[in-house]
Amino acid sequence: MPVESIFPRLEPVLPRVQKPIQYVGGELNSQIKDWDEAEVRWALMYPDAYEVGLPNQGVQILYEILNEREGVLAERTYSVWPDLEAIMREQRIPQFTVDAHRPVAAFDVLGVSFSTELGYTNLLTALDLAGIPLEAADRGEDHPIVLAGGHAAFNPEPIADFLDAAVLGDGEEIALAITEVIREWKAEGRPGGRDELLMRLARSGGVYVPKFFDVTYLPDGRIQRVAPNRPGVPWRVDKHTVMDLDQWPYPKKPLVPLAETVHERFSVEIFRGCTRGCRFCQAGMITRPVRERSITTIGDMVDTGLKESGFQEVGLLSLSSADHSEIGDVAKGLADRYEGTNTSLSLPSTRVDAFNITLANEFSRGGRRSGLTFAPEGGSERMRKVINKMVTEDDLIRTVTTAYENGWRQVKLYFMCGLPTEEDEDVLAIADMAKRVIQAGRDATGRRDIRCTVSIGGFVPKPHTPFQWAAQCDHETVDRRLRALRDALRRDKEYGRSIGLRYHDGQPSIVEGLLSRGDRRVGRIIRAVWEDGGRFDGWSEHFSYERWTACADKALAGEPVDLDWYTVRERDEVEVLPWDHLDAGLDREWLWQDWQDAVDETEVEDCRWTPCYDCGVCPTMGTEIQIGPTGRKLLPLSVV
């Protein structure tokens, strides 16, 4: 069946919407494959605005890997802003891909990548605009398989009713495996319809099909049991781990948008996983173990990526980039190679360590200086022990002193508020730390124009972390502590004006907490919020806390649970958690022990350099830590 472009209908309305360029496609390195020649067709969605979604690495990698395969086609779709949504409804224009402007409903799979839970309402908008029934149960043979991936898919229960399937972990290999299953099933003439296809996917234990699991509840509202409801469906679903990143050097041809996006740079993931063991960090827990990309592959990827894109900035991504075993050589090699070319290099996530200043110096040789950001996360020594962020205040002061001595005038410090066991004075300690930082800068340079910016995020307990059992701090307390911190800084005559403070109020974190640790009953709230007009919940101008609380009250009426039950309630060891049947590899007993250690303010070392402490990932997943050094050096390639 020929599938037509909707562009002729879209184009006349584009002059009426904000930033129309985001809907026209045509990015450098985007591709359009022949529809009829493809046997399996993926629509890849990032459920946020184009400017946020386009740079997403996960989507770009899958887009390239799928399109490289013969007989497979992948296109991209993003959330449309409410102005275009209104026009699309009025003119019956369906959710479309930006590549060939094909209707999303015509694809075999709609793969949605959720980095955050706040994209859930946007999923519903896209399904509805696409003409795909919101509830998986209502979908027919011709509708796409709606598949979730990304970090939020490690607990997809709140959107279980809207999904046909979810996958956990690295997408490269499983996306191709799913493609093969679909190809075979279609080639056989779609035996058994949609259900049979989902069964084939579920049987492997590598794809979670929510409808093949039943959830039962205890009278008090806790989950009694989550169990497969069909023979052949395994009790647990495993996450996927790509072991050799050098085999998957993507993106090779990064997408270069015409529209302005949040990251205007070429990003290379230098390793995956993190074993530092910060207890609040879901990404660190669910992406274990550490797998490094080799220095030579990194060098080659940077070279091709820059040539293919024309970007002026390279970001070396990972959860803690300075931890790469050969980061010194990577930094020096790249700085040498691009010296004098106005190419800037950045390490977005770094730990508090004087070594990073050496790296930052290498990176700013080209003339450009990106800011220096450090993340002590907790204001007091005690707090940092609880969260296992092993850095002392003296470490930090030494580091920033080196930074100021090396010419930086401003550093950024990142913290969290609302952490487990937190007291008012833990947050106020942030002010003391910031003051010491300014003083260190003044001492090191003899100047007064030293600045530091303090950014504070609200802590949200996440599944598959030691804090998954913790009570989330209520938003009133968070707001009160942040106000006290702000007042303390404002009052300070000596330092106050040198310290910038950025924070958000606590309400959005509560909703994020509901969606992070929610179970299937939370789906009703999401639907109600969406029906009431909820969109783009990650954007403060669109977010409405009142709408979420009102809808939660209504949707949970008659249930023994409510918003507080999901968020500010502490769980005990035996409670069945909504994601217990989804295996991130972490040993539940180890997580519980780590939670107890947190409360006792006991730290654990990084297993990369110290002995394994049996978190469970490596034996369960048959994986191991993969780090260098390889001992190789970067070749000084000729650059354009």
Partner 1 sequence: MPEGPAPAPVIQRLRVRYAKRGRLRFTSHRDISRAVERAVRRAGIPVAFSAGFTPHPKISYTGAAATGVASEAEYLEIGLTETRDPARVRADLDAALPDGLDIVDVVAAGQAKTSALADRLEASEWRVRLDGVRETDAAGAVAAFLDAPTIEVERLTKKGRRRFDVRAAVSALEVETLAPEPDRRAAEAADVPCAILRMVVRHTTPAVRPDDILTGLRQVADPAPPSPPLVTRLAQGPLDAVTGELADPLELDRGTRPGRETVPPSGDDAVTARGPAPTQSDPAAGADVAGARS
Lookup: tokens for 15 = 């002059």
311 near partner 1, judged by CB under 8 A: yes
Lookup: tokens for 485 = 């911190």
Instruction: Determine the residue type at 129.
Output: L
Question: E strands within 104-176?
Answer: 109-113, 145-149, 165-166
163: three-class secondary structure by DSSP? coil
Instruction: Indicate which of ligand SF4, partner 1, none lies near residue 5 (CB less than 5 to 8 Å, by partner kind).
Output: partner 1
Instruction: Indicate which of ligand SF4, partner 1, none lies near residue 640 (CB less than 5 to 8 Å, by partner kind).
Output: partner 1
Angstrom CA distances, 132 to 6, 104, 185, 361, stand at: 17, 9, 21, 52
Q: How far apart are CA 437 and CA 434, in angstroms?
A: 5
20 near partner 1, judged by CB under 8 A: yes
218 near partner 1, judged by CB under 8 A: no
Contacting residue, 613, 628, 632, 633, with ligand SF4 by CB under 6 A:
613
Q: CB-wise, 342 or 392, nearer to partner 1? A: 342
| Nearest CA-CA partner of 441 in 378, 399, 381 | 399
Task: Label each residue of 623-635 as H, E or C.
Answer: CCCECCCCCCCCC
Q: How far apart are CA 468 and CA 470, in angstroms?
A: 6
Binding mask 398-417 for partner 1 (x = CB under 8 A): ---------x-x--------
87 near partner 1, judged by CB under 8 A: no
Instruction: Indicate which of ligand SF4, partner 1, none lies near residue 543 (CB less than 5 to 8 Å, by partner kind).
Output: none
Stretch that binds ligand SF4, among 220-228, 392-400, 471-479, 605-613 (CB under 6 A): 605-613
2 near partner 1, judged by CB under 8 A: no
**Taking the complex as a whole, how short is the minimal distance between the CB of residue 28 and partner 1, in angstroms?**
6
Q: How far apart are CA 7 and CA 23, in angstroms?
A: 10
Which residue in this structure is represented by tokens 């930082």?
437
Lookup: tokens for 65 = 């890997």
| Nearest CA-CA partner of 209 in 223, 199, 217 | 199
Interacting positions 262-291 with ligand SF4 (CB under 6 A): 275, 288-289
With 0-12 / 13-18 / 19 or more C-beta atoms within 10 angstroms meaning exposed / middle / buried, residue 184 is: middle
Angstrom CA distances, 319 to 143, 276, 286, 287, 621, stand at: 37, 10, 12, 10, 20
**Taking the complex as a whole, how short is the minimal distance between the CB of residue 370 and partner 1, in angstroms?**
10
**Taking the complex as a whole, how short is the minimal distance between the CB of residue 429 and ligand SF4, in angstroms?**
30
The answer to whether residues 511 and 545 touch, using CB atoms and an 8 Å cutoff, is: yes
Contacting residue, 222, 230, 252, 307, with partner 1 by CB under 8 A:
307
Q: CB-wise, 288 or 521, nearer to ligand SF4? A: 288
Contacting residue, 176, 199, 243, 256, with partner 1 by CB under 8 A:
256
Q: CB-wise, 101 or 581, nearer to partner 1? A: 101
Question: E strands within 205-364?
Answer: 213-217, 223-228, 237-238, 266-269, 271-272, 291-292, 313-317, 344-346
Contacting residue, 615, 626, 627, 634, with ligand SF4 by CB under 6 A:
615
* Residues whose CB falls within 8 Å of the CB of residue 594, separated by 6 or more in sequence, listed in order: 277, 279, 388, 466, 604, 615
Instruction: Indicate which of ligand SF4, partner 1, none lies near residue 612 (CB less than 5 to 8 Å, by partner kind).
Output: ligand SF4
Interacting positions 518-537 with ligand SF4 (CB under 6 A): none
Contacting residue, 193, 232, 310, 619, with partner 1 by CB under 8 A:
310
**Taking the complex as a whole, how short is the minimal distance between the CB of residue 31 and ligand SF4, in angstroms?**
37
| Nearest CA-CA partner of 108 in 68, 63, 147 | 147
**Taking the complex as a whole, how short is the minimal distance between the CB of residue 113 and ligand SF4, in angstroms?**
24
607 near ligand SF4, judged by CB under 6 A: yes
Instruction: Indicate which of ligand SF4, partner 1, none lies near residue 347 (CB less than 5 to 8 Å, by partner kind).
Output: none
Instruction: Indicate which of ligand SF4, partner 1, none lies near residue 139 (CB less than 5 to 8 Å, by partner kind).
Output: none
Q: CB-wise, 101 or 288, nearer to ligand SF4? A: 288
- CB count within 10 Å of CB 59 equals 26
Instruction: Indicate which of ligand SF4, partner 1, none lies near residue 340 (CB less than 5 to 8 Å, by partner kind).
Output: partner 1
Q: How far apart are CA 422 and CA 572, in angstroms?
A: 19
612 near ligand SF4, judged by CB under 6 A: yes
572: DSSP letter: P
Q: Can you state the angle between helices 393-405 and 424-445, rounded to 10 degrees?
A: 30
Stretch that binds partner 1, among 85-93, 309-317, 455-463, 567-575 (CB under 8 A): 309-317
Instruction: Indicate which of partner 1, ligand SF4, none lies near residue 138 (CB less than 5 to 8 Å, by partner kind).
Output: none
The answer to whether residues 342 and 366 touch, using CB atoms and an 8 Å cutoff, is: yes
**Taking the complex as a whole, how short is the minimal distance between the CB of residue 367 and partner 1, in angstroms?**
4
Stretch that binds partner 1, among 4-12, 55-63, 512-520, 553-561 (CB under 8 A): 4-12
Instruction: Indicate which of partner 1, ligand SF4, none lies near residue 249 (CB less than 5 to 8 Å, by partner kind).
Output: none
Interacting positions 291-330 with ligand SF4 (CB under 6 A): none
Contacting residue, 91, 224, 342, 610, with partner 1 by CB under 8 A:
342
Lookup: tokens for 274 = 């993190």
243 near ligand SF4, judged by CB under 6 A: no
| Nearest CA-CA partner of 515 in 80, 19, 151, 247 | 151
Interacting positions 31-50 with ligand SF4 (CB under 6 A): none
Residues present in the chain in total: 640
H and E: helices and strands count for the chain: 21, 18
Stretch that binds ligand SF4, among 310-318, 443-451, 608-616, 627-635 (CB under 6 A): 608-616
Q: CB-wise, 51 or 603, nearer to ligand SF4? A: 603
617 near ligand SF4, judged by CB under 6 A: yes
Lookup: tokens for 128 = 């509805």
With the CA atoms of 608, 611, 613 and 619 taken in that order, what torsion angle do they form, in degrees rounded to the nearest 10?
Answer: 80
Lookup: tokens for 466 = 């030691």
Q: CB-wise, 98 or 209, nearer to partner 1? A: 98
- Interface positions with partner 1 (CB under 8 A): 5, 7-8, 11-12, 14-16, 19-21, 24-28, 32, 100-101, 256, 258-260, 264, 306-312, 340, 342, 364-369, 407, 409, 640
- Interface positions with ligand SF4 (CB under 6 A): 275, 288-289, 607, 612-618, 625
